[in-house]
Structure 1
């Protein structure tokens, strides 16, 4: 008699219930041992078939986890994972939903999981709820640039005693109120702009405080967007800012290379220059497509063949097209 398993042994090997084992046999995935005289005393299954099915299951599992499984791991809804895949333009492969299944699912590899996890962490952790750099009592902003006595550029900071003021060239600290009383102190730009209400969402950026771009980007945000239109804070040695999407008029304070520098530190969203304006917007957009009925039915068939909705199928196809 050929090597075989009992139903209970098959269930342990395949990680399923005993009734499922008989279901696999009825589908022809595994064969029962031919035992017309019932010499074994119970139904047994061909070991080769069971081992082959196990190998196929492991291969399917190794291809990657489903979007739902990835979402559970990161504690988010599957839609958030799909948004991350779209933003990162990841090429996610499709595999059968289960062994011998005609339906398909996405298979996210470990490397892609890491990219998605990093993206979701950045989205969750970097967006500040308000502009922590603005000091309402004095109507000024931290790191704002001023001219002292009409010529010396200085920046507003806190000293070790959490006093607001300016560090001078000789490392003396001049209190802000003292500077107002005893010197000609003038801001180099206005920090207030009209609040944007048209577009939704934010463009996020992260700049290490040790980079030259730190002050240049802050000056641009203050001068172009105004404190009303971006949330920000400095934490862990980084400026973390979220600019309200919209259209902002430029002014004489903005240098020619400011846009290029700004783009280098954008994490999500985008900014483009049009005429004398900068436009901040989402890097992904919702588009409505209209098809003839017969074309739409064909698309539905293609999507269902892969176990996807039409929207999921279209998104995956577009991502693949872009990557190729």
Structure 2
């Protein structure tokens, strides 16, 4: 075993940049092996000092989650986690890494508060990151088919990884399903983005096959560009942009008008041959606010990953709920 590391190896071991390795050597945190005659092409550093520094870092490493890890678990942006960190006085550990960055670690107590706050202020309608993966271009419960004709639906496991469950309940990562087992998508999931005229809201029970047939139909007619989805333990919240739409495929026979109306929770659906009209359960309104208050509302809504309308709606709902409890 060599008694030295290259600059790249030091950077990898300590989790720092090669520029920081240079600064560490100048600060005598690690020892550079002198080569006055330049006989060795790569700069080398003494293994013992690097290993000692790495062990010290490991001992001081906070045990909590990184903001990016918590964001992935909760299905929100990392910026949303940082915004909530700024809102709380609960502890967040900071560990300097090199001269140019800091690693943040979220202890369990703070992670619980952040999780509860996100759940409390969650949008009524899901954000796209909750149901769509841009890397693989797939959507939750999208239908795929094996070469043997077996239907498989896209799912996410407890680690927020995308894939499939086999009939034996074995987890198959999405990439394996495509490249090894050659699963193929049954239909496309993209349509032109429509102008928002409100949303029509549905609730799809997971114990009904018709719910997934309806999702298949919705993905093909509206595409992911015109819907929102939020998954729950027993049902799926589905919101579709309101307005008229011509049907590019026939409505499956199993999706009777009574089934569609059963799924409907807010708004209305007018069903005609070859055309549906979705009517929003909301009514557009306007009101005047002082500029400073409007700016503050926009800032808070952005931090919470909500639109202005969604944030105002939730704030008003919460106020009414508090007043009802006080009565």
The TM-score, its normalising length taken from structure 2, stands at 0.44
Normalised to the residue count of structure 1, the TM-score between the two structures is: 0.45
Greater length-normalized contact order (CA 8 Å, ≥ 6 residues apart): 1
